[in-house]
């Protein structure tokens, strides 16, 4: 655990063997402004047999509890309960401190096709992006947020305890795909001035990956590209997607934006524009191979 200090500790005997119960505090404000995390841990022989985490952002203003009060109460309860009822706690493995990183090398591209339409202009952009990836030697995987069972983020912030989201749905597979990719391409229409709701849910739920990277202190070298088709104003789309990249530590290659699609209806109708967009994508992907951009 990085940057943690001991708030309380107690020597206790459990199942006839001595051990140490500790209450630790860790400042996580670099990852999330104003956040601190408490950890209650029972150790014996250098091994953590039980852990419990809670952080300050779990408790909204007006809550009758705070992270500090919950951590202190948990410490006191365990100091009494562990010697008397060890099976209640020690039969369960300790909470993982952080989500493990994938063992597979990051050498492919993940294309997040954010439109609920499988065959619209955004899908066309995604196809051109896949062609550009292939030309750059990158295999591609597609994710369609509208076709995934991804619940909305509840802003519980419990992912900053263990680096994992407490919601069990298909987002876990998406996180794995993001982790395995060298390049993440977000393709999105401008829907009501911003990204579609399913894509926004995916972006919000990626907070757990940001938490995992903050807790581990490890951020891999990854690249991000935004491709969007819509009206003239891409302000909100740009801010949402680039906030997504920034939060995950993804280096941003740039944007490929297609305005005035309402007037054109089908972006494939203008061969000159198609060539220009394909050239833009190829040029941006080529920058990943520059000497200064290698891991």
245 and 189 both lie in a single domain:
yes
Q: Percent of the chain, pLDDT > 90?
A: 74
Question: Which of the listed residues 88, 117, 133 is the one where a domain comes to its end?
Answer: 88
The answer to whether residue 105 scores a pLDDT higher than 70 is no
Question: Which of the listed residues 56, 88, 120 is the one where a domain comes to its end?
Answer: 88
121 domain-assigned: yes
Distances (CA, A) of 225 to 18, 28, 81, 228, 254: 54, 29, 52, 10, 6
147 and 210 both lie in a single domain:
yes
pLDDT tens digits along 22-80: 999 999 998 899 999 999 999 998 888 889 999 999 999 999 999 999 999 999 999 99
274 domain-assigned: yes
292 domain-assigned: no
The answer to whether residue 12 scores a pLDDT higher than 60 is yes
159 domain-assigned: yes
160 and 47 both lie in a single domain:
no
As a whole number, the mean pLDDT across the chain is 90
pLDDT tens digits along 135-170: 999 999 999 999 999 999 999 999 999 899 999 999
190 and 77 both lie in a single domain:
no
295 domain-assigned: no
Distances (CA, A) of 157 to 104, 145, 216: 28, 22, 16
161 and 61 both lie in a single domain:
no
111 and 250 both lie in a single domain:
yes
127 and 230 both lie in a single domain:
yes
Domain count, the chain: 2
Give me the domain span that covers residue 227: 107-287
User: What is the structure's pLDDT at 107?
Assistant: 78
Arithmetic mean of pLDDT, 3-29: 93
240 domain-assigned: yes
- In this structure, of 12-26, 59-73, 103-117, 212-226, the range with the lowest mean pLDDT score is 103-117
Alpha helices by DSSP H, listed for 11-151, are 67-84, 86-90, 121-135
> Residue 70 in contact with residue 144, Cβ under 8 Å?
no
59 domain-assigned: yes
42 domain-assigned: yes
CATH of the domain at 129: 3.40.50.360
79 and 124 both lie in a single domain:
no
């Amino acid at each position: 655990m990085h940057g943690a200090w001991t708030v309380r500790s107690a020597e206790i005997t459990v199942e006839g063997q001595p051990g140490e119960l500790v209450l630790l505090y860790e400042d996580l404000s670099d990852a999330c402004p104003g956040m601190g995390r408490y950890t209650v841990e029972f150790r014996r022989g250098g091994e953590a047999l039980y852990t419990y985490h809670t952080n300050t952002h779990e408790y909204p203003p007006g809550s009758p509890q705070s992270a500090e009060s919950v951590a202190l109460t948990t410490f006191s309860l365990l100091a009494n309960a562990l010697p008397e009822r060890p099976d209640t706690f020690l039969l369960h493995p300790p909470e993982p401190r952080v989500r493990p990183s994938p063992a597979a090398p990051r050498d492919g591209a993940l294309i997040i096709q954010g439109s609920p339409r499988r065959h619209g202009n955004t899908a066309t952009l995604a196809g051109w992006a896949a062609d550009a990836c292939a030309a750059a030697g990158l295999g591609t995987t597609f994710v369609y947020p509208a076709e995934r069972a991804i619940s909305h983020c509840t802003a519980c912030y419990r992912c900053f305890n263990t680096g994992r989201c407490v919601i069990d749905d298909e987002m876990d597979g998406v996180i794995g795909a993001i982790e395995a990719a060298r390049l993440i391409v977000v393709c999105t229409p401008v829907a009501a001035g911003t990204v579609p709701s399913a894509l926004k849910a995916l972006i919000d739920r990626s907070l757990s990956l940001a938490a995992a990277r903050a807790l581990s202190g490890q951020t891999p070298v990854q690249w991000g590209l935004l491709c969007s088709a819509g009206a003239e104003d891409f302000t909100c789309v740009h801010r949402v997607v680039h906030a997504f990249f920034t939060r995950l530590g993804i280096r941003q290659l740039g944007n490929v934006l297609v305005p005035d699609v309402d007037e054109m209806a089908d972006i494939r109708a203008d061969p000159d524009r198609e060539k220009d967009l394909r050239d833009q994508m190829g040029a941006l992907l080529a920058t990943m191979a520059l000497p200064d951009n290698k891991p």
